[in-house]
Amino acid sequence: MVFDTHAHYDSGAFNADRLELLSSMPEQGVSLILNPGCELDSSKTAVSLAERFPFVYAAVGVHPSDCAGWQESWLEELRALAAHPKVKAIGEIGLDYYWKDNPPREFQQMVFRRQLELARELDLPVIVHDREAHGDSMAIVREYPDVRGVFHCYSGSLEDAKVLVKLGWMISFTGVVTYKNARRALEIIGWLPMESIMIETDSPYLTPEPFRGKRNDSGKVHLVAEKIAQVKGLAPEDVARITLENGKRFFDIQEG
């Protein structure tokens, strides 16, 4: 059994078959799924999916690419959503300097900090999205030494990974590790203690090989476990089991 710690079933890509697909996950060996939000609506959908499926949990948050309309009142709405017992994190939050039409960097940083403060207040972990913003993401995270989190779809350096492990943070990998250009990620996986690794699909995106280009779903998270198993010299079932336990511990989930 395996835990897909990051999948967006609120996405329109699942409109045709969302409920059937999610219903099929236990028989595909997926025992837990965490669905993060990217803005208020997707956070609400994440919570309602978590209410519907016992093996789905939610995070609520505003993604840097979706933060242009941020108002302080959003913090109240996130706080109210986070009171739900199946909301296990604030996310996904962070910085994205890749897309040119994203909100200005300083604005993204303000929204990131506000949500880190919310996580600290609520004693919830955070799910961090960091794209082409490694220096600023690391610096801001270090302003909140009492907040724990995960860097999802990790794309930073080995040096930063070492710092994150020392801070007690988790590092999570997607199907990107199966791509040809994944050399650096594989080197980082080789170094990381197994206790610091989680796996995810980021569905519907980042579909692992040999399905790259198709829609992704949690049934393909096994392919991420297999790649990590190769690097670590472990059996895929052991990687699945250890990352499942890591995810349960990190998100404070008892079931699954």
Task: Work out how close the CB of 243 gets to Ni ion at its nearest, in angstroms, rounded to a whole number.
Answer: 17
Structure tokens that stand for 73 in this block: 């009142």
Window 186-215: contact mask with Ni ion (x via CB under 5 A): ----------------x-------------
State the SS3 of 75-108. Answer: HHHHHHHHCCCCEEEEEEEEEECCCCCCCCHHHH
As separate numbers, helices (DSSP H) first and strands (DSSP E) second, the chain gives 9, 8
CA distance 201 to 222: 9
* Residue whose entry in the numeric block shows the structure tokens 């995070």: 59
**Residue 188 three-state SS:** helix
Window 100-119: contact mask with Ni ion (x via CB under 5 A): --------------------
Pick from 196, 194, 202: nearest CA to 174: 202
Size, binding site for Ni ion by CB under 5 A: 1
Question: Nearest residue by C-beta to Ni ion?
Answer: 202
Task: Work out how close the CB of 6 gets to Ni ion at its nearest, in angstroms, rounded to a whole number.
Answer: 6
Nearer of residues 112 and 191 to Ni ion, judged by Cβ: 112
Nearer of residues 68 and 229 to Ni ion, judged by Cβ: 68
Nearer of residues 207 and 254 to Ni ion, judged by Cβ: 207
Q: Residue 15: count other Cβ atoms within 10 Å of its Cβ.
A: 7
Residues pairing with 30 in the sheet = 2
CB 91 within 8 A of CB 127: yes
Nearer of residues 10 and 202 to Ni ion, judged by Cβ: 202
Task: Work out how close the CB of 7 gets to Ni ion at its nearest, in angstroms, rounded to a whole number.
Answer: 8
Nearer of residues 42 and 109 to Ni ion, judged by Cβ: 42
Structure tokens that stand for 49 in this block: 């999916």
Task: Work out how close the CB of 202 gets to Ni ion at its nearest, in angstroms, rounded to a whole number.
Answer: 5
Task: Work out how close the CB of 94 gets to Ni ion at its nearest, in angstroms, rounded to a whole number.
Answer: 10
Residue ranges in 42-101 that form contacts with Ni ion under rule CB under 5 A? none
Task: Work out how close the CB of 153 gets to Ni ion at its nearest, in angstroms, rounded to a whole number.
Answer: 7
CB 203 within 8 A of CB 9: yes
CB 86 within 8 A of CB 44: no
Task: Work out how close the CB of 43 gets to Ni ion at its nearest, in angstroms, rounded to a whole number.
Answer: 13
Contact set with Ni ion (CB under 5 A)? 202
